[in-house]
Structures are given as structure tokens and as C-alpha cells.
Structure 1
Amino acid sequence: MRRIISDQAPDAIGPYIHATESNGIIFTSGQIGLNPQTNKLVDGFENQTNQTLANLQNVLKTANSDFDHVLKTTIYLADINDFSKINDIYKNYFNDSYPARTAFEVANLPIGALIEIEAIAEVKK
């Protein structure tokens, strides 16, 4: 097992790391819309979604992967009414190579985030 910590993603806000890799499969921790330079949430759902995906992209890059190698994502939303907004933004990151996905509303997310995304991906060969 390999533990992955990216210097391009925000610091963990709890006792966890950005990702682990085992046998060529990467499991990321959930990413939220924290600016990696300030470790503060960016404002608004769209900005948080873009920052969340950028953070996830940086974790995958550190783990020698990318969005083309993502097998599945799980999206946690503070408000399920933002589902269509996430779709509009999300599709711009995956170049039509969409992974399996689950999305649902949750009661609360860490530090008041509006969205959190985690992924399972393959290491690039």
C-alpha cells in the first residue's frame, strides 16, 4: 500500500491523507472546495465545485493518475437541487470518459462545504 499526500491540494482537516493506492487502484479521500493556498472555502456552489474538482485532479496527478483513469466518483451535495449545476461543471473535467457515479444529498459537510467528491481510479500505466 502506498500513502499519497499532494502538495498541490489543501491540507487535510482531520486525521487522514489525500489518497491511498493498492495494487494499482487509488482511493481518494473526499475533496471539498478549499483553496490550497489559504485552506479556506471558496465562495459559492460553482466555485466550490470547480475548486473541489481541481483539488481532486491534483491528488490524482500526485498518485500518477488523472480523470481519464477514474473508475467511480461519489458526490455529496448539501442541496440536491444543485444536481444539474454539478452536471454542467463535472462534464467539463472528464472529456466524455465519464466514470460510474453516485450523487446524493447529505445533512452536513465539513466546515460548511456545499459539495464533496471522492474517487476511485487506476494508476496510469
Structure 2
Amino acid sequence: MRKVVKTHLPSDKAPIEWATKGGNVLYTAHIPIREDGSIETGDIKAQAQLTLQNLKRTVEAAGGTMDDVTQVLIYLPDKNDFAGMNEVYRTFFKQPFPNRATVVAGLMVPDARIEIVAYAHIGG
């Protein structure tokens, strides 16, 4: 059964939850959104920092740590943002790193340069 994880992020505009758990697995997706619902429109480093900070806060709200994150899927609309994203990404994870894929794809949120989908195994 799916349980909602309450986060610090706004959830009244779209038919989504920022995070859910099924058993001991956390399912979550993040964009560079602030608590007030506005989007960070800076460069990839600023957007990656906010997006990963949102992920970290969500994992902690679910009772875990970033060490519990087992897989990360990153979507970037511009392959030239890979190096800047990777620089910030390294500050949020330590070895052994989560399994990861990075895909160049169009994003639905205007001005967003990153979207992250992550899975974490928390407890159990």
C-alpha cells in the first residue's frame, strides 16, 4: 500500500505527491522548486543544489539518509549541463555511490534544467 511522505514542498497545484513509500522503499521525484512554489532559474549548479537539497530533506522526512538512496535517475535538457550537475551531485553522496543514469530529455517545467527521480531503501 502506498503511503504519502509529507515534505516541505508545495503540493496543491498538480496531481502529484513529492514522495511515497511502499514498504521500505521510498519513491520520489524532484525539480528545482522552492518552498513557495517558485522555480530556481539560475544555472545548472544552482538548480542542482536546490533539487538535491529537496531530495535530501525528503529522504530525511521519510526517516532515512542519503546513504539509503539506491538509485538516481537524472534528466537534463542540455547535455552541456552534465559536468556542473555532477560537480554538485558529488557533494550529496559518498562512495559507494547510488546506481545512476543521466538522460538528456525535454522537461515539462519551464526554465528547469534538472529533474531527479530517486529510490531509497529505508529500514527493514
Tell me if both proteins adopt one fold, taking TM over 0.5 as the criterion. yes
Structure 2 unaligned blocks of 5 or more = none
Using the aligned pairs only, state the percent identity.
26
Whether the 8 Å CA contact 2:25–2:121 is kept in 1: the answer is: yes
**TM-score, structure 2 normalization:** 0.89
Please give the alpha-carbon distance, in whole angstroms, between the structure 1 residues aligned to 2:80 and 2:110: 20
The CA deviation at 1:121 is: 0.2
Deviating above 6 A after TM superposition, structure 1's stretches of 4 or more consecutive aligned residues are: none
Instruction: Specify the SS of the correspondent of 1:15.
Output: coil
The CA deviation at 1:111 is: 3.0
Partner deviation per Cα, 1:91-120 (whole Å, 9 max, x = no partner): 110022310001111123323311011100
> Match of 2:53, as an amino acid?
A
Instruction: Specify the SS of the correspondent of 1:94.
Output: coil
Please give the alpha-carbon distance, in whole angstroms, between the structure 2 residues aligned to 1:120 and 1:69: 9
Whether the 8 Å CA contact 1:46–1:85 is kept in 2: the answer is: yes
Instruction: Specify the SS of the correspondent of 1:112.
Output: coil
Summarize the alignment of residues 52-67 of structure 1 with structure 2, pairs less than 5 Å apart.
Answer: 52-67=51-66
Aligned residues: 121
Structure 2 counterpart of 1:46: 45
